[in-house]
Chains A and B, each alone.
Chain A
């Protein structure tokens, strides 16, 4: 079918280009060719009609953008004259906002080019007959960019309410995050299709458009990392490290907490902080209780360190994965531009933790009884030594792949999936168990979230927020970094930072383009710092905080909201200050 269509096109081009005399010769040649075309396999097509439709005499091209200069996709462009009721030509704008109106006859009279989009005010561009006279010399007219102004539709309000509703449902734990996000997506699509059919003002976006907002490289990177993490962390390495930290500290609890913080920070940077805290909390609880101290003085600092430690690498936090994929920031870029800031923030945090829990750390440890020591040692054993060294080798190779792969534009997702596959082949783990290790609910959460954020982007909420922030910040980059670091950091103390970051990405992109000097992407790093450090502010600020509290609760050692707030909030602002100063200094934004 495709072959035949190509031959049709070639035939058509030849027919159009040839001199009338030569056309006659070609006519006879075509008489032989055409039956051959119909002998090719496939369905028959009505050639003459097709031929007629493909004769394009002239074109008008242009580009449509929003008030921020961002190209608008899928705007409907119609060309009308006073003589015709039906459009002479119509087109839809592409990803880059360009559109092409093709005319089968040359329009010499005044032409109206109408551009429409459900979430923008329609715009009409007039082409007078003197402008159209160019067609007598050329086949193409290019008109200037057309800017469409946003309009607040009913769809805008629905998408906005859905986005805020999903954030609240997650924040107050009224629904599982994935269920909340899926419910949001369902409402958006139902409003678009059913509401939009009743009143076009309710239209938000099509199903296909919604799917286009899903960032598949992020989904695959998260999936690959899930398998690697499940294998590495399942070996018992972190429990073993925690026990070694206890042995190394020789009962000095202040040293113990610092070593545990270091372990969780590094583990969170290389793997993920949620799983790290799942593993570190039970063993730390045991050590703390066995030492006769308040185990929360060991555990809460680890949560704080885990939320900050992840900032230094692209795979350390889900928010960094989102930022890296959106802004094209590489694994090495994160390491180079964030690590020193993160280390400084951890140092300040360590000093504050020692001061905050000074009473607990001053108490003389009573030591662990031989029976409990033996039990602790049992629980902290490396469960799979062979798996540990094999997965260690593959994990190092994956990290090298992350760093070197960017030179050949190798996607991180490909490296992660390849690493996971090598581990599956080499270690031969129980595959159904490993497939279960991929947390599909999280992946579905990501997909649904991308579509919800796409919806608020589509209806213009993000543009409004970007314009508002732009007015607030102006051309002042220092203020821009400050607002992003502290604004996002503060909001992240109560709002889940993954949806917040996803919504902030287009805003930060706009600011990166509009603020002079921001092209070094400092604002994206500011977003990374703010989103992750803000998670330390309250108990509900991060998933790792919640899961840690869940585990300690199971040992009748609950972490209350107030207790966490007392240390979490000051640590949040201390680390945000360090992060802000580091970015200002490192990127020389002054």
Chain B
């Protein structure tokens, strides 16, 4: 199995415990960690105000900064890490990054206060679709604690 661990994250204080746990798992396994930020500007869809600038570019830069912060945490824990910022639908981007980087394990944060992307149902779909196809393991973390593991 590949030793690359993928940690999709949005950054921010709410993500720190989960990032730390993902880093700890990577250290435990002697694996490299890849932090992923997916730019999503769907929230602009319901406003009538004009979008006069390339907000995706701004969001990409914000994502890079969030990942730089995550990378700093990994460095402090002496875990090798890399980052990638992508645009698109979460499920599709995830599948693509798993394939490109030969990821063995995906560490996902559970739905933080209803704002995250991972619900039980959604996760099952991910495992069915991506897990079955690529053989990756999914670890779900909530507030830094492992709450579920899915192995295909």
Q: Can you list the 5 inter-chain pairs with the closest CB atoms, starting with the nearest? A: A550-B43, A177-B48, A439-B50, A556-B12, A274-B49
Taken together as a complex, chains A and B put the C-alpha atoms of A498 and B52 apart, in Å, by: 19
A435 to B72, CA, bound (A): 41
Taking a contact as CB atoms under 8 Å apart, the answer to whether A234 and B53 are in contact is yes
A residues near B (Cβ < 8 Å) are 170, 173, 176-178, 222, 226, 229-230, 233-234, 272, 274-275, 278-279, 282-283, 285-286, 289-290, 294-295, 369, 371-372, 375-376, 379, 437-439, 441-442, 445, 496, 498, 543-544, 546-547, 549-558
Do the beta carbons of B53 and A375 come within 8 Å of each other? no
* Minimum C-beta distance from A455 to chain B (A): 19
CB contact under 8 A between A556 and B48, given known A278-B53, A282-B59, A375-B65: no
Taking the nearest CB of chain A, how far is it from the CB of B66, in angstroms? 6
Contact between B58 and A556, CB atoms less than 8 A apart: no
B47 touches A547 (CB 8 A): yes
Task: List CB contacts (< 8 Å) of B45-89 with chain A.
Answer: 45-55, 58-59, 61-62, 64-66, 68-69, 72
- The reply on B132 being an interface residue by CB < 8 A is no
Whether a CB of chain A sits under 8 angstroms from the CB of B44 is yes
Neighbouring B residues of A371 by C-beta, 8 Å: 68, 72
CB within 8 Å for A275 and B52 given contacts A554-B10, A555-B12? yes
Is B13 an interface position by the 8 A CB rule? yes
Q: Within the complex, which residue of B14, B54, B64 is in contact with A556, where a contact is CB–CB below 8 Å?
A: B14
Are A543 and B49 closer than 8 Å at their CB atoms?
yes
Binary interface encoding of chain B residues 10-34 relative to chain A, with 1 for a CB under 8 A from any of its CBs, else 0: 1111110000000000000000000
In angstroms, Cα B73 to Cα A371, docked, is 12
**Contact partners of B48 in chain A: CB under 8 A:** 170, 176-178, 441-442, 445, 496, 498, 543
Q: Is the CB of B47 within 8 A of A556?
A: no
- Closest B residue by C-beta to A271: B52
Cβ contacts under 8 Å, B66 to chain A:
286, 289, 555
Cα(A178)–Cα(B48), bound, Å? 6
Residues of B within 8 A of A177 (CB): 46-48
Q: How far is the CB of A273 from chain B (nearest CB, A)?
A: 9
- B15, B65, B113: most-surrounded residue (chain A CB, <10 A): B65
* A372 & B68 in contact (Cβ 8 Å cutoff): yes
Assess whether A233 is in contact with B52, with CB atoms less than 8 Å apart. yes
Q: How far is the CB of A380 from chain B (nearest CB, A)?
A: 9
A292 — nearest CB in chain B belongs to which residue? B13
Contacts known (A282-B61, A439-B52, A551-B59); A176 close to B15, Cβ less than 8 A: no
B40 within 8 A of A: yes
Question: Separation in Å of the A363 CB from the closest CB of chain B?
Answer: 13
In the complex, which of the residues A176, A496, A498, A557 contacts B12, with contact meaning CB atoms closer than 8 Å? A557
Most A CB atoms within 10 A — which of B11, B12, B50, B112? B50
B-side contacts of A282, CB under 8 Å: 58-59, 61-62
**Complexed CA–CA distance, A229 and B53 (Å):** 9
Task: Give Cα distance in the complex from A556 to B69, angstroms.
Answer: 14
Residues of chain A lying within 8 A (CB to CB) of residue B61: 282, 379
B65 engages A379 (CB within 8 Å): yes
A375 contacts which chain B residues (CB < 8 A)? 64-65, 68
